Structures are given as structure tokens and as C-alpha cells.
Amino acid sequence: MTTIRALSLMASGSLVLTLAACGDGDGGEGGQGASDGEDVTLTWWHNSNTGDGLEYYQQVAEDFQDANPGVTIQIEAMQHEDMLTQLDAAFQAGDAPDVYMERGGGELADHVAADLTMDLTEVAAEEIEMLGGTVQGWTVDDRVYALPFSIGVVGFWYNTEMFEEAGVTETPTTWEEMYAVIDQLKAAGMEPLSVGAGDGWPAAHYWYQFSLRHCAEETLTDAVQSLDFSDQCFITAGEEVERLIDAEPFNRGFLSTPAQSGPSSASGLLATEQVAMEMQGHWEPGVMAGLTEDGEGLGDKLGWFPFPQVEGGQGDPEAQLGGGDAWGVSADAPPEAVEFVRYMLSEEVQRGFAERDMGLPTNPNATDAVADPALAGLIEVRDSAPYVQLYFDTAFGQSVGGAMNDTIELMFAGQAGPQDIVDATQAAADAEG
């Protein structure tokens, strides 16, 4: 009896101790204070987890290690969505990787407020100077917290062959022309547009784009700061979206269509030539390639044009909606992490990045290395834009952005009007306090 009692006491006691020890871990993996010549290990999380990109980033890390003896880079390459989930968990646990992808906007502002990310304003001043206005999306209170390495804009990807077949000779530059194209495509028996409204954000991008065209730049900048959406231009944007939905240009079943997962998603429908166009970001060629059996997507048939202009809009007609990815450094990372991020923005690394079509480089000296003609056209539009407005849901943060997206989705289902979008967004903003 005594033996059993002692054993069970030990068992329960050790269990408590083990668990206590687990909860007590300091979690910091990156070596700290290693700048005095000691060896240092950097953890780097990225989402180029297949093929060329994975290999290239491995090479980049090795090159950096060779040039900086004593530095070891530990790479975690994950699928994009997995990475986001893991990052959230790592931030919650106070165990963020030294170098990671930062999407900017309200999300970054939250990270900054929680002291999770490093201020790079001084330590990477040279790169920030080189990047110019593109760092705007990663700036909080005039301090820069991450360096964008790929920035793209949202526009219409289309099937050039289907356009020809329907007799469309020129891509539309105004919405009047766009409606004419939609009618032409429908007359030819085609579904003009696909939209993944099941995922919310692809539908919401229409409202963002019309807001960008109808609202003056200051109105948008103010809205991001003050979260005030009372300007009439936001209502007009909603009316434009309603008009578009009424024209019925979208694929059958668009309310339950996902954005880019599987061949029946919005991107899949474009890739498999079931629809003529889709409005999407710069990642579309890569996504489509992954959704077709030959890994080519639409190949040579793929064309791109920017979001058409509207009549009477207050916004600059050349302004673009976009966003991108930046390298952030966690608050307690060693100085080598900053050096590594600076290296990744160098012409050399960015050129290799562009040549492999991994994204759209931000280093101006590397932009001519983009191989894909459609993407090259996109980068031209990006670089001549007076400003690139960060996707609203990213700019406003997930809480406000989520409420905005959900209400726009309701509009696509015919259950919300222009005023509802403004009201729901304002309510979510007010709840932020």
C-alpha cells in the first residue's frame, strides 16, 4: 500500500512539475547578444515552400552565411496560410522568428503596439531611402518597421483568346467600355467574370477599387487614420458595385465560389478557360499555374489590364490598389537579422527573385528582370502610379476589415446596400475604441 501511494504521489508530482516546466520556457530561440563575435542562429520563416523559390531562398541563406562566418540561418518554409496561423501562435507565445513576413497596415500597427517588431528606421535607412514611397504601408507614426520586397497591384487578368473570339479588340479603360465588353462576352455565350465571393475578400476588392476611384487621396489617408467613413464617395463606391452585380457578369454560383483553392475556384475557372476574366492581384499567374495539370496556367493566352476609370471620381485615375510582402524583424532579434533583411533587398537577391517570377521586386534596379510579359505590364502600371493604396482589409486591420468584407459579401448576396457597408465598417471601427 505504501509503495503504491508513494508511486502515485511521485507520478502526479512529476506530472505537475513537467507541465510547469513546459509553461515556463523562455521560448527565445534566436541567440541574443551574439554580436560580440559569438555564433548566432537566425530563424527565418517564408512561404516559398516549393520548387524554384524554395531552392533560391536556400541559396540566399547559404550565401549570407558564407559572407558572415558564425551566422547560421534556420529556414522554415511553409505554405502561406499555415505560416500566417503559425505566426499568430508564435506571437501569442512570445516566440516569433527573427525574420518573418509582415503584411503591413493595421496588422503591423497591432504588432507595433504590442512591442513585437523592430523599428528599422535608422538601422536600414539606406534601403528605406531606396524603396521610397513603397514603405508607406509598413510605416507606423513615421517609423518604418518592415522592408517590402514584393509589391503588386490588383487588376483584371483575362484570356486573350476568349476576348478575340468574342470580338473584343481592345481592353477597356473606362467602366462604360467595360460594360460593353461584358455584354460582348455574354453575347458570345461566355461567362465574363469569376469572383470568389465565398471567401469574401475577392468580392470586397471591387468595393475597394471603386472607393479608390471615387475618393480623393486625402479622404482615404484620413479614413485609415481616423476611421471616419462619412464621405459620400464611399456610398458612391457601393452604388457602383450594385450596378455591376445587376449587370450579372459573374460566374454561376459565385456566392459559394472560393478564391483560389481548386479548379472550381475563381482562379481555377480562369485557368481552365471557363470564364474570360478575373480581378486579382499579382500572384494570379503563380496561383493559376498551380491549378492546372500542366503547371502552366493560361500560358501565352494571359493578359492584364488595370481597373478601368470611372466618371466623376475624385481619386487619381492612375492610382492603384495593391499590397505586398515585407521582411520584418522581431523585436528581440540579434543585429545580424537586420543585416540579413538588408541583404535580401539588395539588387543581387532581388534580381534572382524577379527572374524566377517569385514576385514583383521593389528594388528599382531589379524591376527589369521580371520575365513574364503580363507581369512586366503590371509592374509598369505599378511604377507609374501616383500612389498604391494598401488593400483596405489589411490597412484597417482584421477586425474592421473583416466587418467591411462580410458586409460587401452581403451586398453580393443582395442583402446589404451601400449605406450598410459604411455603417458596419464604422461600427467595427468604433468598437476598436
Partner 1 sequence: MTSLSVPPRGATTQPTGRTARPVGGGRDWRMAGEILLFTAPALTIFGLFVVWPILRAVQFSLYRWKGFGPLVDFVGLQNYVAVLTNEVFRGAVGHNLFIVVASILIQLPLGLGIALLLNRRIRGRGLLRTIIFVPYVLAEVIAGVVWFQLLQPGRGVVETLLGTVGLDGPYQGFLGTPELAMPTLMVVLTWKYVGLAVLLFLAGLQGVPDELTEAAQIDGATWWQIQRRVTIPLLGPTIRTWAFLSMIGSLQLFDMVWILTGGGPANATTTMATFLVNEGTKRQNYGIAAAASVVLFVIALTMAVLYQRFVLRRDTSDADVLRGVR
Q: Is 122 in the site for partner 1 (CB under 8 A)?
A: no
Contact positions with partner 1 (CB under 8 A) in 247-276: 252-257, 264
Q: Is 51 in the site for partner 1 (CB under 8 A)?
A: no
> Cβ closer to partner 1: 245 or 388?
245
What's the longest Cα–Cα distance across the chain?
A: 92
- Helix, strand counts (H, E) of the chain: 18, 12
Total residues contacting partner 1 (rule CB under 8 A)?
40
Dihedral angle sign, alpha carbons of residues 156, 157, 160, 164: negative
Q: How far is the CB of 372 from partner 1 (least distance, A)?
A: 29
Q: Is 115 in the site for partner 1 (CB under 8 A)?
A: yes
What CA–CA distance (Å, rounded) separates 103 from 394?
7
3-state secondary structure of 58: helix
Which positions ≥6 away from 63 have C-beta within 8 Å? Answer: none
Q: Is 116 in the site for partner 1 (CB under 8 A)?
A: yes
Among the listed residues 31, 97, 152, 198, the single contact to partner 1 using CB under 8 A: 198
Helix (H) or strand (E) run with residue 21 in it = helix 2-24
Q: How far is the CB of 85 from partner 1 (least distance, A)?
A: 8
What CA–CA distance (Å, rounded) separates 268 from 146?
32
- C-alpha separations of 103 from 100, 188, 280 in Å: 10, 41, 17
> Which region among 145-153, 212-220, 233-241, 410-418 touches partner 1 (by CB under 8 A)?
410-418
Q: How far is the CB of 262 from partner 1 (least distance, A)?
A: 8
Q: How far is the CB of 382 from partner 1 (least distance, A)?
A: 28
Q: Is 114 in the site for partner 1 (CB under 8 A)?
A: yes
Q: Is 136 in the site for partner 1 (CB under 8 A)?
A: no
Among the listed residues 76, 110, 273, 423, the single contact to partner 1 using CB under 8 A: 110
Q: What is the DSSP letter of 138?
A: G
226 CB neighbour count, 10 Å cutoff:
10
Q: Is 113 in the site for partner 1 (CB under 8 A)?
A: yes
Q: Is 336 in the site for partner 1 (CB under 8 A)?
A: no
365 CB neighbour count, 10 Å cutoff:
13
Q: How far is the CB of 58 from partner 1 (least distance, A)?
A: 30
Instruction: Confirm if 275 and 254 have CB atoms less than 8 A apart.
Output: no
Helix (H) or strand (E) run with residue 428 in it = helix 418-432
Q: How far is the CB of 8 from partner 1 (least distance, A)?
A: 5
> Cβ closer to partner 1: 196 or 308?
196
Interaction pattern, residues 3-42, with partner 1; x per rule: CB under 8 A: --x--xx-xx--xx--x-----------------------
Instruction: Confirm if 43 and 30 have CB atoms less than 8 A apart.
Output: yes
What CA–CA distance (Å, rounded) separates 280 from 297?
14
What CA–CA distance (Å, rounded) separates 14 from 7?
10
> Cβ closer to partner 1: 87 or 223?
87
Q: Is 78 in the site for partner 1 (CB under 8 A)?
A: no
Q: Is 419 in the site for partner 1 (CB under 8 A)?
A: no
Interaction pattern, residues 389-408, with partner 1; x per rule: CB under 8 A: --------xxx--xx-----
Which positions ≥6 away from 234 have C-beta within 8 Å? Answer: 211, 214, 215, 418, 421, 422
Q: How far is the CB of 80 from partner 1 (least distance, A)?
A: 15
Q: Is 423 in the site for partner 1 (CB under 8 A)?
A: no
Q: How far is the CB of 397 from partner 1 (least distance, A)?
A: 8
Q: How far is the CB of 47 from partner 1 (least distance, A)?
A: 18
> Which region among 64-72, 105-113, 122-130, 170-178 touches partner 1 (by CB under 8 A)?
105-113
What CA–CA distance (Å, rounded) separates 74 from 98?
10
> Cβ closer to partner 1: 140 or 385?
140
Q: Is 365 in the site for partner 1 (CB under 8 A)?
A: no
Instruction: Confirm if 233 and 211 have CB atoms less than 8 A apart.
Output: yes
**What is the residue whose three cell numbers read 520584418?**
328
Contact positions with partner 1 (CB under 8 A) in 300-329: none
Helix (H) or strand (E) run with residue 146 in it = strand 146-153
Q: Is 189 in the site for partner 1 (CB under 8 A)?
A: no
Q: Is 67 in the site for partner 1 (CB under 8 A)?
A: no
Burial class of residue 129 (count of CB atoms within 10 Å of its CB; 0-12, 13-18, 19+): exposed
25 CB neighbour count, 10 Å cutoff:
10
**Which residues of the shown chain bind partner 1 in the complex (CB under 8 A)?**
5, 8-9, 11-12, 15-16, 19, 85, 88, 91-92, 94, 110-111, 113-116, 197-199, 252-257, 264, 397-399, 402-403, 409-410, 413, 415, 431, 433
